[in-house]
Chains A and B, each alone.
Chain A
Amino acid sequence: MDPYVVAIWIVRIAFLGGLYLFMFGVTRLLLRDLRSAARDPGGALARLVVVGSDVSEPPRGTAFGLDAVATIGRDVNNSIVVEDEFASAEHAVLTFRGRAWYVEDLGSTNGTFVNGAAIDRLCVIAYGDELQVGRVRFRFERVRR
């Protein structure tokens, strides 16, 4: 067989093999990436980040991981405790219901605000929205995996 033809075929196979070498390298990176995301501790579904606070607790910058039901208020039994005399003991509750997150005002004295508007009982909340309880403003965020 002509050695030149053999050489050409070796290069052709090398090209195809190289394509798969690239795919192999990428797949390894993707798997590593997925594994590290899966290992990420805490099964928080979303989080609330304090973006503005006039009270000592919680201070600005605090991030709270949220479970499917998270309560906010002055009472120590809440998932997120807001030490503010403008917040009610049981002020608001955030719930995840399959498709979307909802925020509900639990009949608080001073109201719960989404993007600056007072909500009347139940309201859908989206990632990136701002939530205000008392004098504390939160930003509702997706958990970054």
Chain B
Amino acid sequence: MNAGARPARAIGAIGRMRPRARRRESGLLIVVALVLVAGSISLGATQRELAGQKVSLLPADVGQLSIYLAALLLAHLALILAGRRSDQVLLPTIGLLGGISLLLMERLPQALVTQSLVGRTFGLASIQLGWLLLALGVVTVSAIAVRSDAWLRRYKYTWAAAGIGLLLLTFLFGNEVNGALLTIQIGPFSGQPTELIKVILVIFLAGYLSEFRPLLVDASMRLGPLRLPPLPYLLPMLAMWAIALGIVVVQRDLGAALLFFAVFLALVYIATARTSYVVIGLLLFVAGSVLAYHLFGTVRDRVDIWINPFVDASGKGYQVVQSLYAFARGGIIGTGLGAGLPLVAGHLPIPAIHTDFPLAALGEELGLIGVVAILGLYLVVIERGLRVAISAADEFRSLLAAGLTLVVGVQAFIIAAGNLKLIPLTGVTLPFISYGGSSLLANGVVIGLLLALSDRGVEPPPAPRPDSRRRARFLGAARGSAR
């Protein structure tokens, strides 16, 4: 169990690889394959029936499904060959979510998104399949190649600078999507930097909090019933709040701001176990929200729509109202894949269905039962991630695993709750299901890192750096002289 002083191994030590069976993962992947085949048959049969074609029980798109299943199998085999003792539930779970995404994209009109590449035009499902394969590749490579985390923990301020740089790039060169500055265009591809920034944010916070945790825990300032840490250590919280507010003001991207601030607060709480930080953070959040509501039209619109979307059901509240209708039409067992979402005047009732409202589509076609199962899959990801966090060797890895898990979990919650009118709608993607390359790749990095962190045979964390010396002495001296 004790990894002790095993020497650092080079990444490419293929000669010394010892394959290790992953029976649980194999078993779960077989179930995933069966489920996806059933889903594809259900979709194909429904589509043929609606189109009045010859009846047959064949999958909707045999080619795409088999490519996807083969990629899952390859990822599984790569993990077996590398002999990692990492978590065996995460890969099948995200594999199932990705497969559901593929079925949904095959089901939606292919003309929603088209991309011309080397003289051929690809539709929605083909592009999504390409991104899914890339994401699975990212998961596998980072799960196998990441053996040491020194490059993550050493350069935390570099990571922070990179994150802020990306944010500024979006501020300056971002393209507007639905009134929010979201994407950056590079050649034929456009990406959402916020998806990458969320991973960078977690890396920075894990490094920062694990280093300054002793000081943050040691609250010494009193403010009424609250015990606060010394003022300098409160500044990051204010800075984070300012950045989140900045995103709202400049980018009009409420989802990202909410996600960043929620993950930040949760991580601070995990690191310090102090409710006072959460209370301060929530107070700041409420203050910021009220401010934003009174100052910005977009925020006010979102909140008004949330309170009563039927006031302007064919205008501003249109998407939310249609989403609610979709859930209602789905009922308990749904209409079946491919049988829902009637076209309104030749268009889908919800324009952003493939990015912001996939849960509404699934809610209509799979019903309450299906939506509960999908939310359950996110809970499984969260459970596994927090489990990795709880058994991590040191503070940094623990916070990193918890933060990565929360990024996925909180994001899924924000958009699912937005679709269901539980909270105001904010445009973030549903991890692993929404259409979109940046989202899939960023979440692939998250799962890959979680798999790497869960590996029981991984290198022990590097010894703490001697520069934390000063603070140990400072703290000790402060405590000592107080007596």
Residues of A at the B interface (CB closer than 8 Å) are: 4-5, 7-9, 11-16, 18-23, 25-26, 29-30, 33, 49, 51, 61, 63, 99-100, 114-130, 139, 141-142, 144-145
Taking A63-B2, A121-B476 as contacts, is the C-beta distance between A22 and B35 under 8 angstroms?
Answer: yes
Q: Complex formed: what's the CA distance from A13 to B334 in Å?
A: 10
Chain A residues with CB under 8 A of B42: 8, 11-12, 14-15
Q: Are A8 and B373 in contact (CB under 8 A)?
A: no
Q: Which of B196-210 contact A (CB under 8 A)?
A: 210
Q: Is the CB of A7 within 8 A of B391?
A: no
On chain A, the residues within 8 Å of B34 by CB distance are 18
Which B176-234 residues have C-beta < 8 A from chain A?
210, 213-214, 217-218
Asked if residues A22 and B28 are in contact (CB atoms below 8 Å), the reply is: yes
CA distance A123 to B374 in the complex (A): 46
CB of A124 within 8 A of CB of B373, answer no
Closest to B333 in A: A16
* Option from B49, B214, B387 in Cβ contact (under 8 Å) with A4: B49
* A23-B377, A61-B4 given; 19 more Cβ-contact pairs under 8 Å: A11-B38, A11-B42, A12-B42, A15-B366, A16-B369, A18-B34, A18-B38, A19-B96, A19-B374, A22-B31, A51-B5, A61-B2, A115-B468, A117-B472, A119-B473, A122-B479, A127-B398, A142-B391, A142-B392
Are B2 and A49 in contact, CB atoms less than 8 angstroms apart?
yes
B332 to chain A minimum Cβ distance, whole angstroms, is: 10
B315: Cβ under 8 A from any A Cβ: no
Please give, as numbers and ranges, the residues of chain B lying within 8 Å of A11 by CB-CB distance. Answer: 38, 41-42, 45, 57
| B392/A117 in contact, CB under 8 A | no
Residues of chain B touching chain A, judged by Cβ–Cβ distance below 8 Å, are 1-2, 4-5, 24, 27-28, 31-32, 34-35, 38-39, 41-42, 45-46, 49, 55, 57, 88-89, 92-93, 96, 210, 213-214, 217-218, 272-274, 333-334, 336-337, 366-367, 369-370, 373-374, 376-377, 380, 383, 387, 390-396, 398, 460-461, 463-466, 468-470, 472-473, 475-477, 479-480, 483
Residues on B with beta carbons closer than 8 Å to the beta carbon of A124: 213-214, 217-218, 475
- Kindly name the residue among B4, B214, B460, B469 whose own CB sees the greatest number of chain A CB atoms within 10 A: B214
Q: Is the CB of A29 within 8 A of B333?
A: no
5 contacts between A and B (CB under 8 A): A16-B373, A19-B96, A117-B469, A122-B476, A144-B391
Q: Which of A4, A7, A29, A117 contacts B24 (CB 8 A)?
A: A29
> Judging by beta carbons under 8 Å apart, are B92 and A145 in contact?
no
Q: Are A9 and B336 closer than 8 Å at their CB atoms? A: yes
- From A61, A141, A145, give the contact of B394 (CB < 8 A): A141
Q: From A8, A99, A118, A139, name the one whose CB has the most chain B CB atoms within 10 angstroms.
A: A8
Distance between Cα atoms of A130 and B461 in the complex (Å): 11
